[in-house]
Structure 1
Amino acid sequence: MAVSTDAVDRAIDEITGVPTDAGRIEVFAHGGASVVAERRGDAASACTVVLVHGIGMGRKVFADLVRHLENEALVVALDLPGYGDAPEPTRTPTIERMADLVAAYLRHLGRGPVVLLGHSMGTQVVAETAARHPDTVDRLVLVAPTVDRHRRRALRQLWRLARDLWGESPKVLLLGAREYMRAGPNLRRKMRAMLTHRPEATYARVSAPTLVVRGESDVVVPPEWFDEVVAAIPDSRGFVVEGHRHETLIRTAEPTARELGRWLSEQ
């Protein structure tokens, strides 16, 4: 008997701990591309945290982080154009265009400046958002920031990601495989847009207080690049998650969520 795609998707959600009950979902379009946003948590809170995923991923990889934050904040997880449930745009947007789209959504959200968190490629999008649209970002969080300017070639990036994933938890591998399949046949163009962007040229223009996070064993984000990112952003501080790799937020978000709460309370 044939098994529907929805049934497989739901089974993966159940196995990996992703909530099967959707939060408040909306599709927001701007400039020829769309994001899908899922809201959860305390809408009465003064704090809004918006989450932006990395290449090949989608909003569902943030399920564990949302679980840790939703009692203290309104948490909004995004699917960028062509990822997760967001429709594939006619043309693959640059990092700069995705940043403009995120900023337009934040203004639409109407919550004022937010805590904007990006993971992996998402750090490029959120850093660019903070630099280009500083009125939308109160504080910035960069988890596993890419792309290391010393190792920008596509094959080198893929090799490092493969090494990082070797021996990862089944949860990370299952969620990652599902989201990469969703990202579709244009993943090569999306990779090119990621590698073309120069985050090191953006960091000095970020005025928001910034927390930079790295997994201790992250092969994609080596220590020297992490230190360079922290040093390049005027008001920043670094945090290393012991025993974690590049997909630290997917494996378990508790250490990062705990440090994020501590950091926010100090601001």
Structure 2
Amino acid sequence: MATLILASMPLLNDVELYYEVHGVDGPPLLLVAGPASDVSSRQTVLPGLSEHFRVIVVDNRGIGRSLPADAPVTVDLMADDCAALIDHLGFGPVHVLGHSMGGFTALSLAARYPEKVRKLVIAASGVKSSSRNTLLFSDLADRYERGGDLTDFFRTVFYWIFTPAFFEDEDTVKGAVEFALSYPFPQAPVSFRKQVNAIAAFDGRDSAASVRAPALVLAGSEDLLFSPSAGRTLAEKLPRGKFLAIEGAAHSIHAENPKEFAEAVLSFLKEGDNP
């Protein structure tokens, strides 16, 4: 269990932004979540990372405990929130780890606020989303807005973010669905729709070329949403980019393969440190 140092919800950029700080008194590492995810989605890797870093986890605008639920959402606005949070905490340049949509946000942050980013890790993401993903996420938003029993909604999401091996254990699948259904801070449909639109609108091809920070792009070899080729393309556009594929991993690398994920992140972030 990671040690919680601080939890707060300051007013930044006209939103009440909920964040937590965990871990040792080490270099700061900001974790930025993907769509339909908040601070709870980082729990699988938080213990391993917080042994080496002062880890900041944040609920993106409009989700989790950040308010209001209907706040405007774009990738650049979420990056602005991250920049404001770094300043609020009084940190200098921080390591930034963004997953999926959070990878878009981390890319925008590194391109537009280069003085705030020390090293950059982008996981299960790319320079932009695909037309197939845009249609898929829009259909999911339609289903979420209809409400009712959302068991089929969450199970459908899981089909896209986990490997086939995940579904071999019925109890694991059932437990994951039950956790999602009973989560005390559910995302409002309006917030999910705004995230879907933000993902569709983002194009980071120019941003990637301007990033000065050393960067690692992580991909799951079985990711259906952002394939390894999408990750490799992003790494090639980053001036100081490296690429690594994790075998046997799908989109939710940190949840299904937390050990391999944390090891890859730690190896990169500690690279070049004095012994």
Structure 1-normalised TM-score?
A: 0.83
In structure 2, relative to structure 1, the CA distance for the partners of 1:89 and 1:22 (3 Å cut) is: same
Q: Is the 8 Å Cα contact of residues 33 and 89 (structure 1) preserved in structure 2?
A: no
Residue 67 of structure 1 deviates from its aligned partner by: 0.5
Amino acid at match of 1:81: R
SS of corresponding position for 1:112: coil
1:28 aligns with 2:32: no
The equivalent of 2:231 in structure 1 is 226
Residue 153 of structure 1 deviates from its aligned partner by: 5.2
Q: Is the 8 Å Cα contact of residues 103 and 136 (structure 1) preserved in structure 2?
A: yes
The equivalent of 1:217 in structure 2 is 222
1:84 aligns with 2:64: yes
Q: Is the 8 Å Cα contact of residues 126 and 233 (structure 2) preserved in structure 1?
A: no
1:51 aligns with 2:56: no
Match runs of 1:192-207 below 5 Å: 192-207=197-212
Which whole-Å CA distance do the structure 1 matches of 2:254 and 2:225 have between them?
Answer: 15
Identity %: 23
Q: Is the 8 Å Cα contact of residues 220 and 249 (structure 2) preserved in structure 1?
A: yes
Which whole-Å CA distance do the structure 1 matches of 2:182 and 2:199 have between them?
Answer: 20
Residue 252 of structure 1 deviates from its aligned partner by: 3.4
SS of corresponding position for 1:154: helix
Deviations 1:42-88 (A, max 9, x none): 12x2x111101000010111112110011211111111111111112
Match runs of 1:59-70 below 5 Å: 59-70=39-50
Residue 147 of structure 1 deviates from its aligned partner by: 6.2
1:103 aligns with 2:88: no
Which whole-Å CA distance do the structure 2 matches of 1:180 and 1:94 have between them?
Answer: 25
Match runs of 1:231-250 below 5 Å: 231-250=236-255
The equivalent of 2:270 in structure 1 is 265
In structure 2, relative to structure 1, the CA distance for the partners of 1:110 and 1:265 (3 Å cut) is: same
Deviations 1:214-267 (A, max 9, x none): 111000012321121110111011111111110011123211211222212223
Q: Is the 8 Å Cα contact of residues 124 and 199 (structure 1) preserved in structure 2?
A: yes
Which whole-Å CA distance do the structure 2 matches of 1:173 and 1:248 have between them?
Answer: 18
SS of corresponding position for 1:262: helix
The equivalent of 2:94 in structure 1 is 114
1:123 aligns with 2:127: no
In structure 2, relative to structure 1, the CA distance for the partners of 1:181 and 1:209 (3 Å cut) is: same
Amino acid at match of 2:8: E
Match runs of 1:176-187 below 5 Å: 182-186=186-190, 187=192
Q: What stretches of structure 2 of length at least 5 have no aligned partner? A: 141-155, 167-171
In structure 2, relative to structure 1, the CA distance for the partners of 1:174 and 1:52 (3 Å cut) is: farther
Amino acid at match of 1:29: L
Q: What is the CA RMSD across the aligned residues, in angstroms?
A: 2.6
In structure 2, relative to structure 1, the CA distance for the partners of 1:256 and 1:172 (3 Å cut) is: farther
Amino acid at match of 2:12: H
Which whole-Å CA distance do the structure 2 matches of 1:23 and 1:174 have between them?
Answer: 29
SS of corresponding position for 1:202: helix
Q: Is the 8 Å Cα contact of residues 121 and 147 (structure 1) preserved in structure 2?
A: no
Deviations 1:120-168 (A, max 9, x none): 1001111101111111110011010146444365224568964444743
The equivalent of 2:52 in structure 1 is 72
SS of corresponding position for 2:194: helix
SS of corresponding position for 2:218: strand
Q: What stretches of structure 1 of length at least 5 have no aligned partner? A: 1-17
SS of corresponding position for 1:61: helix
